[in-house]
Amino acid sequence: MKQNLKIDGWHNNLTFSSSHLIIDHHHCGRLHGHTYAVSLYLKGHATKDGMIVDFSVLKTFLREIIATLDHKLLIPAHDTTHIKESNNTIHIQTDSKSYQIPKEDCVLLPIPQTTAEYLSRYLLQTLLGRYSPPKNVELISLGISEGPGQSAWSSHNNEGCTS
């Protein structure tokens, strides 16, 4: 019988606070921050011990990953048009604004933009780089919430598809 497992980031304190901007977006183009929560959903079959996977293992991996983002400015490293680095400083140039931030206050992410959608993909790929779901897991989905009621999710199935 298929079963579902869910780890709610808000209730399990799987949260981090970061700032970002979505370059040239009419509203989110201003430097601002969120307290994000990371949640996980798995679908699969319970093993002989009655579990799909051990909650604590997944929560440990998630805490390690989100600790690298906490209290940092999230920078989309793939945007080489607006983002430059020199002398341990990150330079951000938009159509109307210019920022200079110490590199130590930033985390450069291998994504084109710091939207919730791209962040969910990045976090799921990072998790899967550290944790291989067992064969009884059919689907693993990771969601990042910018506040209660608004989140973006990315999924991976055991055939290796990520969306």
Residues annotated as part of the active site: 28, 71, 146
Strands 106-109 and 73-76: parallel
| Alpha-helical regions (H) of the chain | 55-67, 116-130
Cα 6 to Cα 28, 79, 84, 109, 124: the distances in Å are 30, 34, 39, 26, 15
Q: Please give the angle made by the CA atoms of 133, 136 and 139, to the nearest 5 degrees.
A: 60
Contact 121, 144 (CB under 8 A): no
Take residue 12 and report the two structure tokens written for it: 């399990």
